[in-house]
Amino acid sequence: MRTAAAVTESKSWWVMLPAFVAGYLAADFISGLVHWFGDTFFEEDSPVIGRMLIEPFREHHRDPKAMTRHGFLELNGNNCLAAIPLLSIAWLGAGPGESTAEMFVYSFLIFLSLASFGTNQFHKWAHVDDPHAIIRWLQRRRLILSPAAHSHHHRGDHSKGFCVTVGWMNYLLDAVKFFPRCELGIRALTGRRKQP
């Protein structure tokens, strides 16, 4: 309620659109980082993160349709937990203030949280054989991850197309070889070699 009241009373309501775009792009980028990390480092039996993070990504490469058989909580639970700190910051704050910057930051946190929450669901829908007409409409307009955009990740060695919220960031990150360069850097720092 306080958010709705603040937005309707604010002269800075117009920053919500750029905040939405920034939040959506940030969620797409974060989804790529997490996806890349899960595909690249550690093993499925690694303590703590193995079963929770690494195993679902590796399972997805062995059986891309597996996620379409997961229930809502299994599929989206981790993203829900990841959104809690962002939503807590927004909720514990005084709400969007009167300044444009405060409205932008508050809106960005809300939109980043919402997009992060939707990431695995969007990813799942990119693998569903016959999604609902509304989902197909959103995919065709590239407002959520489309099967065509995501197919780049499942070709070859799974070394590109990591961003799975909407896939917009993949064009830039793949063009500059962002993830391979990050991997080289991390391996150089840690001295770890890539698994055969």
pLDDT in tens, 1-16: 455 555 556 677 788 8
Q: What is the 3-state secondary structure (H, E, C) of 139-188?
A: HHCCCCCCHHHHCCCCCCCCCCCCCCCCCHHHHHHHHCCHHHHHHHHHHH
Residues 79 and 73 sit within 8 Å (Cβ to Cβ): no
Query: Phi/psi zone of residue 177: left (φ > 0), alpha (ψ -120 to 50 degrees), beta?
Result: left
Greater confidence (105 vs 172) lies with 172
pLDDT tens-digit profile of 121-177? 999 999 999 999 999 999 999 999 999 999 988 887 788 999 999 999 999 999 999
Tell me the per-residue pLDDT of 18-59, one tens digit each, with 9 for 90 and over: 999 999 999 999 999 999 998 888 888 989 888 888 888 888
Across the range 78-101, mean pLDDT stands at 78
Nearest 5°: the CA angle 19, 97, 16 is 20
pTM of the model as a whole: 0.87
Average pLDDT on 85-109 reads 79
Up-side HSE of residue 18: CA atoms within 13 Å toward CB? 9
Residue for token digits 């799975």?
164
Residue 145 has a pLDDT of 96
Say how many CA atoms lie within 13 Å of 155 toward its Cβ. Answer: 8
pLDDT at 135: 97
User: What residue segments make up the domains of the chain, in order of their start?
Assistant: 2-190
Q: Would the pLDDT of 196 be above 50?
A: no
Q: Is the pLDDT of residue 195 over 70?
A: no
Give me the residue label for tokens 């690249």: 40
